[in-house]
Amino acid sequence: MNKDTSLKIKAWMVLQEITPASLASELGVSRQMVSAWLRGKSDSRRIAEHLIGKGCPRAYFRGTKYEEVRAA
């Protein structure tokens, strides 16, 4: 994921009051995993699906490997 995409997703999370820790807890993964994903250092289709399911704009994922994910 590129920096622009990451910033859009992080900003959306802030507006929705979703922290990396709360997202990690919901998914049963570590906070470090979520942070690594947000920095583009880790792959997790599951995180992308979960965020889209929570209402994160699908447009934010255009041009990424997560473009075709379904909402969880």
Tell me if 66 is assigned to some domain: no
Encoded tokens for 45:
């289709």
Tell me if 32 is assigned to some domain: yes
Tell me if 17 is assigned to some domain: yes
Query: Token match 């447009």: residue?
Result: 59
> At residue 1, does pLDDT exceed 90?
no
Tell me if 47 is assigned to some domain: yes
Tell me if 68 is assigned to some domain: no
3 state DSSP class of 53: helix
Containing structural domain, residue 14? 3-61
Higher pLDDT, residue 15 or 43? 15
> At residue 49, does pLDDT exceed 80?
yes
> At residue 72, does pLDDT exceed 80?
no
d(CA 56, CA 38): 14
> At residue 53, does pLDDT exceed 80?
yes
Range 63-72 average pLDDT: 82
Range 32-43 average pLDDT: 94
Q: How large a percentage of the chain has pLDDT more than 70?
A: 100
Number of compact structural domains in the chain: 1
